[in-house]
Amino acid sequence: MKIKPFKVEQWMNEFEDDAIYNIGETCVHSISLNELLELSGENTEEYIPKVLGKRLTYGHISGAPEFKEGICSLYERMKPQNILTTHGAIGANHLVLYSIVEPEDRVISVLPTYQQLYSIPESFGADVQLLKLKPENNFLPDLNELRDMVNEKTKVICINNPNNPSGSLIPEDMLREIVEIAENANAYVLCDEVYRGLTQEEGYSKSIVDIYDKGISVGSMSKVFSLAGLRLGWVAASEDIIAKCFEHRDYNMISCGMLDEIFAGLALKNADKLLKRNKSMVRRNLAVLDKWVNKETHMSYVKPQAGTTALLYYDYDIPSRAFCVNLMKNYGVLLTPGSCFELEKCARIGYACSTEILEQGLEKLSEYLKTL
């Protein structure tokens, strides 16, 4: 089956390892196991031998109970039977789309977003319609456009809240309107929520599954919890959706890594502490970025509301890929070209790295801008 190249991942494959100032990736500055143990208050000398003594079986097939309980604590109405663990959110998005989309179904996806949400259903022969998020609307969906796109064949509406790359956050009343539109078409809403919780203002935004029975939430340990190396994500949804996903998952996963799930369970037991660390990082770093954008006369952006990324627009006459390749090759600074999101005259910044790297990367970026 043919599928379009995954542009953002190919970009990262090509350049990420060589970056000196990586302000292109999207996780909140990752933590080590030592840091996780310290933050959790576990006594390492007691904890580690217990882990080392575990027999490495397949573990719990649908996900370790402690991990699933931790996931449930991030929602209002999810129970362990509503959760299926996966190999990252990338595995979860793939699994959901593979389990529910049939050829010729209509699938509506926001753009820009993580490319899986539109290129996977397209590869299955679905009729994919793109709902463009525009800077003039603060990268929020135009619901009249969405209403016009929905027809009786609409199977799923894919959204990403908070949005990667723009950092927009759909407010609850708008989310409820999207649900109403989906409900009228009897469609699912798949909401990629891997940045949920990383807000600039206080408050924990609603998950789609807490307001819609046909809502499907995809989450991850990578971004909000700084543990991408565990490669764990999940699907949270009604039991019948989980059953459909489980049937398909049997064919390509068996179970997630048992050790990964142990550490993820520990992390989510301490979710409040990790969230506190990470919210303060994204807020501190966004202040740094904001100051920088305001002083750079050739740059502008829609200030993000949440997540870890923003789209930086420039007024030079240069394609986004060339802009980013030159920056990377000459200054070792990694951004991600707008072209990876079907956009031009912009690049995505990931501002949740260490503050030091962000400051140094922006300084180098300023030097580069002077040469244009």
Could you tell me the smallest distance in angstroms from the CB atom of residue 142 to ligand PLP? 21
**192 vs 261, beta carbon nearer ligand PLP:** 192
238 vs 192: CA distance, rounded Å: 16
274 vs 248: CA distance, rounded Å: 32
DSSP-derived letter for residue 199 is B
**H helices of 41-134, where?**
44-52, 65-72, 88-100, 116-123
Which residues are within 8 A (CB) of 8 and not within 5 positions of it... i.e. 6 or more apart? 114, 115, 336, 340, 341
The bridge status of strand 309-314 relative to strand 299-300 is antiparallel
**113 vs 320, beta carbon nearer ligand PLP:** 113
Task: Tell me the two tokens of residue 130.
Answer: 């793109």
Which residues are within 8 A (CB) of 238 and not within 5 positions of it... i.e. 6 or more apart? 82, 209, 213, 214
109 vs 95: CA distance, rounded Å: 16
DSSP, collapsed to helix, strand or coil, labels residue 332 as: coil
**194 vs 333, beta carbon nearer ligand PLP:** 194
Residue with tokens 């990931």: 350
**199 vs 220, beta carbon nearer ligand PLP:** 220
Could you tell me the smallest distance in angstroms from the CB atom of residue 88 to ligand PLP? 2
Could you tell me the smallest distance in angstroms from the CB atom of residue 55 to ligand PLP? 27
**89 vs 262, beta carbon nearer ligand PLP:** 89
**130 vs 228, beta carbon nearer ligand PLP:** 228
Give which of 302, 7, 353 is closest to 167, Cα–Cα: 302
**14 vs 180, beta carbon nearer ligand PLP:** 14
Beta strands of 211-345 (E only): which ranges? 215-220, 232-236, 299-300, 309-314, 333-334, 336-337
Could you tell me the smallest distance in angstroms from the CB atom of residue 194 to ligand PLP? 4
Could you tell me the smallest distance in angstroms from the CB atom of residue 137 to ligand PLP? 19
DSSP-derived letter for residue 107 is E
Could you tell me the smallest distance in angstroms from the CB atom of residue 275 to ligand PLP? 16
Could you tell me the smallest distance in angstroms from the CB atom of residue 219 to ligand PLP? 8
Residue ranges in contact with ligand PLP by CB under 6 A: 26, 88-90, 114, 160, 164, 192, 194, 220, 222, 228, 233
